[in-house]
Amino acid sequence: MERRAKGFRKFYHRKREVRTARGRVGQTQKKNGKRRKQLRGFLWILPSFLGVMVFYLLPYGDVLRRSFLGAVDGRFVGLENYKSIFSNTAFQLAVKNTLCFTVVCIPALILLALVCAVILFRSKYGGVIKSAFLMPMALPAVSVALMWRLLFHAQGILNQWLAQLGIAGSDWMNGGQAFWVLVFSYIWKNLGYDIVLWMAGLAGISENIYEAARVDGAGEWQCFFKITLPNLKSSLYTITVLSFLNSFKVFREAYLVAGDYPHESIYMMQHLFNNWFRGFSFDKMAAAAVVESAVLLLLILLLQKAWDNKEG
């Protein structure tokens, strides 16, 4: 009996060792497979990464270097350029206007695009109307600026229409209304792009979920708030980031309409960079570019963390 028990124990231990060895081999194979997949993925993105490094990262490194040097003699000045821009009234005005523009435009654009996307997604003519919304993106900036001049000039078309209605006109681009004209321009031009992104997110939601909810007695509003919105979180993050970045590209229209020094309500960071470039203030421009890029990166990381916490 004892010999049989000892033999059984040896057999059990050997079997256990074999299972452990097989498990280790399986884990090693899985790790090797993951490494091969990661290496393949890295090789696929390597050409793009090299392009980004050559055309973006290396030039940005040079901008970072120049932010600590003098513009004329290239002498190391430490943080003097940063102190100079923070005490500059034009920089303060540009930062304030850019922040106000971003805070007003992004929520309005995202909400309006979502409403339009939901309506178009359920409409049988959605594809044709979506193309119409995308037309502003195809128009050159010069054509848009010319149209804005014709509409919002002191002697423009809008004031003529108002005069026919007995309403006094205004010099729209040289008064407090200039800010809202720029807001309207940004939303008008980027609305179609955001609508397409929202509709892509809506297309990824299975119709079976809506059918099951309707069978249980859910109405349209309940389906929207309980099904549609929760399934659009990833799209919301992407659209918010892209809209945020696009809000820094409104310079061309404002510059072509109002020139180098527009009304103070639409004097943006892009105007400031343009004027410093014309004045060869490369030291200030480099320092301001570093500060702006750092703020943008920080805001995007905070936004991503907030989204990850919501999903968790």
pLDDT per residue as tens digits for the range 191-249: 888 888 888 888 888 888 888 888 878 777 888 888 888 888 878 888 888 888 878 77
Mean pLDDT over 64-87 rounds to: 87
Mean pLDDT over 88-103 rounds to: 89
Round to whole Å and give the CA distance between 121 and 202. 8
Round to whole Å and give the CA distance between 84 and 276. 13
Looking at per-residue confidence, does 32 or 49 come out higher?
49
The b/e string for 202-239 (b: 16+ C-beta within 10 A; e otherwise) is beeeeeeebeeeeeeebeeeeeeeebbeeebeebbbeb
| Residue 21 pLDDT | 52
Report the C-alpha dihedral over residues 240, 245, 246, 250, rounded to 10 degrees: 130
Domain boundaries, the chain: 1-47, 88-311
| Residue 27 pLDDT | 64
| Residue 28 pLDDT | 65
Q: What is the residue-averaged pLDDT of the chain?
A: 80
| Residue 8 pLDDT | 46
Q: At what angle do helices 126-138 and 178-203 cross, to 10 degrees?
A: 140
| Residue 175 pLDDT | 77
Domain 88-311 has CATH 1.10.3720.10: yes
Long-range CB pairs of 133-141 (<8 Å, 24+ gap) are 133/191, 133/192, 133/195, 134/192, 134/193, 134/196, 135/192, 136/188, 136/189, 136/191, 136/192, 137/189, 137/190, 137/192, 137/193, 141/252, 141/253, 141/256
Residue showing tokens 């523009």: 101
> What single letter denotes the amino acid at residue 144?
V
| Residue 155 pLDDT | 80
pLDDT digits (tens, 9 = 90+) for 242-292: 888 878 777 676 777 777 778 888 888 888 888 888 888 888 889 998 998
Q: What is the pTM of this model?
A: 0.74
Q: How confident is the model at residue 4 (pLDDT cuts 50, 70, 90)?
A: low
Round to whole Å and give the CA distance between 261 and 259. 6
The enclosing H or E element of 8 equals helix 2-52
Q: Which two tokens stand for residue 159?
A: 């004031």
Q: Which two tokens stand for residue 94?
A: 């540009």
> What single letter denotes the amino acid at residue 105?
C
| Residue 23 pLDDT | 56
Q: How confident is the model at residue 111 (pLDDT cuts 50, 70, 90)?
A: very high
Mean pLDDT over 15-28 rounds to: 57
Question: Mean pLDDT lowest for which of 5-19, 27-41, 225-239, 262-276?
Answer: 5-19
